Amino acid sequence: MSENHEFGAFGGRHVPEPMQEPLAQLADAFETVAKTDEFREEFRSILSTYAGRPTPIYHAENLSERYGAEIYLKREDLLHGGAHKINNAVGQALMAEKAGKSRIIAETGAGQHGTATAMVGALFDLDTEIYMGAKDVERQRMNVFRMRLMGAEVNEVTRGGAGLADAVDAALEDFVENVDDTHYLVGSVVGPDPFPRMVREFQSVIGREAREQFLERTGELPDAAVACVGGGSNAIGLFHAFRDDDVAFYGGEGGGEGSDSDRHAAPLDDGHEDVIHGMKTRVIDDDTEVHSVSAGLDYPGVGPEHAMFREMGRAEYRAITDDEALAAFRALSEDEGIIPALETAHGLAMAKRVAEETDHETILVNLSGRGDKDMETAAEQFDLS
Amino acid sequence: MGLERVFADGPAFVPYVAAGDPSYEESLEYVEALERGGADVIELGLPFSEPIAEGSTIQEAVVRSLEAGMTPDRYFEFVEDLDVDVPLVCMTYYNLVAQYTNDETGERGPRAFAERAAEVGIEGFVVVDLPAEEAGPLREACDEFGLDLVFIIAPTTKGDRLEQMREHVSGYVYVQARLGVTGAREDVSDQTEESLARVADWDVPKAVGFGIKTGEHAERIVAAGADGIIVGSALVDIIAAGADGEYPFTETAQRLESKARELKEGALAGAEKRAATEQSD
C-alpha cells in the first residue's frame, strides 16, 4: 500500500472498512484508466473545446505597481464556470463514465465545485446530486440556481455547522450507501487516498501550462508561485509542475479574524496533526470555530500534501484575514478590472505579503476563480448599493 | 482469556450505545438497563465529532452526547461510575486514540489511551476508521495492557486487508452484514451466511451487526451461524425518542431493557434452531 503514503506522514485511507474496497478499486481504476494516452487525449480535448483551456497568463501591471513586485496571473477565472474546478470535474466524470457509473455526487462549499459537477453531470448525462451546507446555500444562492438549472439535485445539509465539512460527511455517507453505481466526485485534494493524488493529477494542468507560458513570456521561471488554500487543489494544481524548480511556494489560508483568534480556517498556520475525512493532515484546534469570509476556504482541514510541504519547508502558508482578502478583492477589481473570487483574493493578499516581506521580484498567482458569485458580500462590505 | 469467553456459553448479545447520550446520568441508567436485559458485552461509544459512515440515528446520538459535554476523559470517568459486571468495549474513531494525552505523564497516543482504558476496566476496542495495516501501535498497546482489538469486516473485505485483520484481531470479529451506513432496518441482510463463510476458519467468535432491529432478526442471524449479534441503532432509537420527550426517562430505561431481552431471547432461539438443524443433518 505504498501509494497510501506518498505524502510522507500524511494522507492515507482512514475510513471504515466498508469504504476500503471501493477506494481500492477507485485507486486501481485511476492507475489503469486515467494514466493511459487515450484517456489523457480525451481529457485534454474536452478541456480545450468545452472548458476553454489553455487559459492565459496576464501581467497585471497596475497591481504590480501597487504591490511592488511583478505580478502575473494565471487566469483560471476565465474557464467555463468561472473557476479551476472544471478541470477536476471533467477528469473525474470521465473516470466515472469509464467505470460504468451512472451517478455522481459531490460536496460543495462556495458552490463552485458543485456547479462544475452539475456541468459535467449534464455533459456526460449522469444523475447528479450535490451536498451543500445550509449556511452556504444561503450565501451562494446563484450557484444553487445554476446547479438546479443544469439538472443537479441540491441537497441542503443542516447538521453540525451546516458548512463544507458537514457536506463532506453527508457525501461520504451517500458514497458508502451507493457505491455500486455512484462516483464521489471530490472537489479538492482532500479525503482518503486516492482522492488527493487523483484531484492533483487533473488540476496539475494549471501549473504545466503556466510554467510553459511563463518561460515563453519572460525566458525565466517566476521567483514565487502563490495561491489560496482551502482544501488546496488550485494551489497543488499550480505548484506541482514547479516542484523540482527553484520557485518558492506560498499559500494563503482563510485566516478569518486572524490565526491568533478563535475564528479562522487556517490549519497550516495554526493547527495540529489529526485525522479527518479519511486522511491524516493538519486540522484547526478544537477551540477554534471554523470561519472564513469565503465559503470555499471555510474548511477545518487541508490537503495532506500541503501538510507535507509545510513540514518539509517546501511551501510557506499564512493565515490571510478576512480584511486583507477583502482589500485584495477590491484592489484587483479597481486596478485591473478583474473581480476575483473571495477565495482567490486570499491568494492575491498573500502575494502582497510576499512582495512586501521577501525579495522575490516575479510572482505568479493562480487567479483560481472569478468573483461574480461574491457580489452580494461585496455589496454589503463596500456599500455598493 | 479475553472477550472470547462471553461467547462460550451460547450466543452473545452485544448492544451499542453512545456514552453520555443524552446526558451523563441518564446514560449510566441506560447502560445498566441493557445489562439487566441480558447484554453479554456492551460496546460503549466514545463519540467523535466527525463520524464517517454512520446513519442519522448514531450521528444524532453522537451530537447529543457531545453537546452534553462528553470528552475522552469524561468517558473514562463514566466507565468508572458504571455499575455493570459485563465486559465493556470502547467503540470510537482513531483520531481520539491518537490525540489522547495522559495529563500526568504527558504521554500521547495509543499507548496512553489503552493504559487509561485498561485502568477503568475497558476490555477491548473497536476503532471504526483504523485500517488494519496501520493497527500496529494500538495492537501493541492492547497486548501490553491485556485488551482485545476487534475489527469490522465488510461484505467487500478481502485479500490483504482480510489477512491483516485476521492477524491483528482478538476478542471477536465484527461481521458487518451488509454495505452502507449504520441504521435499523425493516429487514436484515441475506449476506450474513456469505459473510460468515469468509471468516469461518478464524479462531475468534463471529458477531454479526448492521441493521438488526427485532428478536426475529436476531434469531435468523444466529440460526445462520453467528456467535453473537451486535445491535446499535434499534436501541439508540429508543434513547432518541426518550430524549425527544416521547416518554419519561424511567420508561426509556424499561423500554431498553425489554428491547434487550427481546434481542437476547431471539438470539437464544436462533441457537436452538441451529442446534436442531445440525442434529438433523
Which chain A residues have a beta carbon less than 8 Å from that of B129?
14-16, 275, 278
**Nearest CB partner across the interface for A275, out of B55, B95, B155:** B95
Q: Is there a contact between B51 and A179 if contact means CB atoms under 8 Å apart?
A: no
Tell me the average pLDDT of chain B. 92
CA distances from residue B139 to A58, A95, B5 in whole angstroms, order as listed: 55, 37, 20
Do the beta carbons of residue A106 and residue A130 sit within 8 Å?
Answer: yes
Interfacial A residues in 363-382 facing B (CB < 8 Å)? none
Grid cell digits, residue A57: 497568463
d(CA B250, CA B248): 6
Which CATH number is A53-83+204-381 given? 3.40.50.1100
* Mean pLDDT for the stretch of residues B170-176: 96
Please indicate whether, in this complex, the C-beta atoms of A278 and B128 are within 8 angstroms of each other. no
Strand order in the sheet with A224-229: A57-59, A70-74, A362-366, A224-229, A248-254, A315-320
Question: What domain range includes position B109?
Answer: 10-148+228-280
In angstroms, what separates the C-alpha of B153 from chain A's closest C-alpha?
6
Dump pLDDT digits (tens) for A161-218. Answer: 788 888 988 898 888 788 889 999 999 999 999 999 999 999 999 999 999 999 999 9
The answer to whether residue A26 neighbours chain B at the CB level (below 8 Å) is no
Q: Where are the domains of chain A?
A: 6-45+85-199, 53-83+204-381
pLDDT confidence of residue A385:
83
Higher pLDDT, B190 or B165: B165
Angle among Cα B29, B30, B31 to the nearest 5 degrees reads: 95
Q: CA of B152 to nearest chain A CA: how many angstroms apart?
A: 7
CB contact under 8 A, A19 and B155: no
Model confidence, pTM: 0.88
Does the residue B198 lie in any domain? no
Mean pLDDT (whole number) for B16-23: 97
Task: Find out whether the peptide bond into B22 is cis, omega within 30 degrees of 0.
Answer: yes
In chain A, which residues have pLDDT < 70? 1-5
Query: What local confidence, expressed as pLDDT, does residue A3 receive?
Result: 46
Determine contact: A159 vs chain B, CB below 8 A.
Answer: yes
Residues B94, B100, B230: CA angle, nearest 5 degrees: 45
Domains A6-45+85-199 and A53-83+204-381 share a fold: yes
Residue A334: helix, strand or coil by DSSP? helix
**Which residues of chain A lie closer than 8 angstroms to B133, CB-CB?**
1, 4
The C-alpha cell that represents A299 in the structure block: 474548511
The mean-pLDDT minimum among A9-18, B50-59, B75-84 falls in: B50-59
Asked if A20 and B157 come within 8 Å (Cβ–Cβ), the reply is yes
User: How do residues A220-272 score in pLDDT, each as one tens digit?
Assistant: 999 999 999 999 999 999 999 999 999 999 999 999 999 999 999 999 999 99
Q: Which three cell numbers mark B179?
A: 454495505
- Asked whether residue B78 is assigned to any structural domain, the reply reads yes
Is the pLDDT at B268 greater than 70, yes or no? yes
pLDDT of the residue at B87: 98
CATH assignment at residue B16? 3.20.20.70
Best residue in A3, A10, A14 to probe B by mutation, most B CBs within 10 Å?
A14
Q: Total structural domains in chain B?
A: 1
Please report the pLDDT score of residue A1 as a whole number. Answer: 39
| C-alpha dihedral, A22 to A230 to B93 to A161, nearest 10° | -110
Does the residue B208 lie in any domain?
A: no
| A169 vs B contacts (CB less than 8 Å) | 50-52
Per CB-CB distance under 8 Å, the chain B contacts of A177 are: 179-181
* CATH fold for the domain made of A6-45+85-199: Rossmann fold (3.40.50)
Establish if B153 belongs to a structural domain.
Answer: no
